[in-house]
Structure 1
Amino acid sequence: MTVYGVGLGPGDPGLVTVRGKDILEEASVVYSPGRLSRSVATEHVSEERVGDLDFPMTRDEDELREAWKAAAAEIAPRAREETVAFVTLGDPNVYSTFGHLRRTLDAFYPDVDVETVPGVSAVTAFTTALGIEVASGTSLTLQEAAGEATPTGPDRMVLFKVTDAPATHERLVAAGYDVVYGRRLYMEQGETLVTDDPEELADRDYYTLAYAEKEGVETTAATAAFDVETEVEQ
């Protein structure tokens, strides 16, 4: 059978795709790597069909490898006989825990089929939440801003995992950016917040992103504009 990596979207159960919901209903067991993904999954499947996997919050590579090997060892035997789903917030191939599982299964259990079911990602959903249009021809860079990292350079950036908003804001403003933040966008757990004031985000939260745009950068969006006076005369 198959292991499906199912993207649950940014946190709202209503943003799970039709294909994702079909796989969840078909799967004999739905594995969840965390509390938030579990809470979304259980809106579509019963608690009894959800299996939890333990992944330590650590940067120790050896410990992480052992955790993924243990997860693969749990999942592979079932996947040989049944349809299995592994759920993750967002999209399985964008900043996702599923990538670790897929690589581990490929290395140790190459006979197990693995497929991904795309999910609505914050990469795209943030535009609606923050009221931003990424027009045709606009360049946009996706970066991770966890820890002390605050990349600068491109005209427009989306920064994920902004765990220190005040420090990130200070560096971005010094580099000439206007910045707006979104926290827990589309999530039912915790407070959703959109703000340009980093002090409102002083407490650390992994689920915070920033949209940074260079001051004065020009955007010429494609439009269906007409010369009104000429049209009237005709």
Structure 2
Amino acid sequence: MTLYGIGLGPGAADLLTVRGKRVLEDVAVVYTPGRLSRRVAREYVAESKLGDLDFPMTRDPEELRRAWREAADAVAPTALDGDGAFVTLGDPCIYSTFGHLRRTLEREHSDVDVEVVPGVSSVTAFASVFGVDIEAGEELCLREAADGAAPTGPERMILFKVTDVPTTHEKLTAAGYDVTFGRRLFMDDEDPLITDDPDELGERDYYTLAYAVRSDADQTADDSPFSELA
């Protein structure tokens, strides 16, 4: 049988894929790693079908490895007897907690089949909120920017986990970037915010994205392939 890693999307229940909805309804147990993912899953499965997994908020590698072993030991019997699911916000393969679980299962429970159901990620969905069109041939890089980090170099970047907005903003603007921030986008019952003012986002929040563009980047879309066909 199978353990499915299901991407729930960025947080709005109606951004779950049709395939994800079908699998959630079919499996015996749905494991959720946190409050927000559980809230989305409850839109599609009964509370009695949900199982909790506890993951510590720590950078201690040994403590994290222990937590993932315990999680793998918990889900493996379900996946061997029937089908189960582990749900995560966004996509299971993009900076997701699911990757740790999958690797632990492969190492310690190799008889468990694992299948991924992709989800809409906030690092791609951001474009529809920011009004950004990434044209063919343009460079766009994904970077993490926790605790005031401010990576530079690429012409355009999506930054995620921007937990110290003022510091990241100061460093990026000094390096010649224009920066727009988005917080808790596409999350039901949350208060989303889009701004280029770092003072509006002084409070630390894990669910903050930024779109950074070098000030000298060419912002003019190239429509020549279409005009040639006119």
**Normalised by the size of structure 1, how large is the TM-score?**
0.95
Counterpart AA for 1:225: S
Once residues 222 and 166 of structure 2 are traced to their aligned partners in structure 1, the CA distance between those partners, rounded to angstroms, is 35
| Gaps in structure 1 of 5+ consecutive residues | none
Q: Partners of 1:30 and 1:100 in 2: how far apart?
A: 17
Report matched runs for 1:36-51 at 5 Å.
Answer: 36-51=36-51
| Identity value in percent | 61
Q: Does the aligned pair in 2 maintain the 1:136–1:221 contact within 8 Å?
A: no
CA distance in 1, matches of 2:22, 2:188: 22
* 2:82 alignment counterpart: 82
Q: How does 1:125-204 map to 2 (within 5 A)?
A: 125-204=125-204
For 2:83, give the aligned amino acid.
T
Residues 203-222 of structure 1 aligned to structure 2 (within 5 Å): 203-222=203-222
1:219-234 to structure 2, matched below 5 A, reads 219-223=219-223, 224-225=226-227
Q: Report the CA distance between 1:226 and its aligned residue.
A: 6.7
> Which residue identity lines up with residue 36 of structure 1 in the other structure?
L
Runs of 4+ in 1 over 2 A off after TM superposition: 219-227
Cα separation, 2, equivalents of 1:145 and 1:216: 22
Question: What SS does the aligned partner of 1:99 have?
Answer: helix
Structure 2 SS opposite 1:158 = strand
- The residue aligned with 1:61 is 61
Check whether the contact 1:159–1:210 (CA below 8 A) recurs between aligned residues: yes
Is structure 2 residue 30 aligned with structure 1 residue 13?
no
- Secondary structure, counterpart of 1:6 in structure 2: strand
| CA distances 1:20-53 after superposition (whole Å, capped 9, x unpaired) | 0011001100000000000000011111101010
Query: How many pairs align?
Result: 228
Q: Secondary structure at the match of 2:146?
A: coil
Higher alpha-carbon Rg: 1
CA contact (8 A) 2:148 2:165 kept: no
Root-mean-square deviation (CA, aligned residues, Å) is 1.4
How many angstroms apart in 2 are the aligned matches of 1:25 and 1:130? Answer: 33
Equivalent position amino acid for 1:113 in 2: D
Give the AA of the match of 1:130.
Answer: F
| Structure-1 separation of matches of 2:121 and 2:169 | 24
TM-score for the superposition, normalised by structure 2: 0.96
Residue 78 of structure 1 deviates from its aligned partner by 1.1
**2: CA distance, partners of 1:201 / 1:92:** 27
Q: Residue 36 of structure 1 contacts residue 189 of structure 1 at CA under 8 Å; is this kept in 2?
A: no
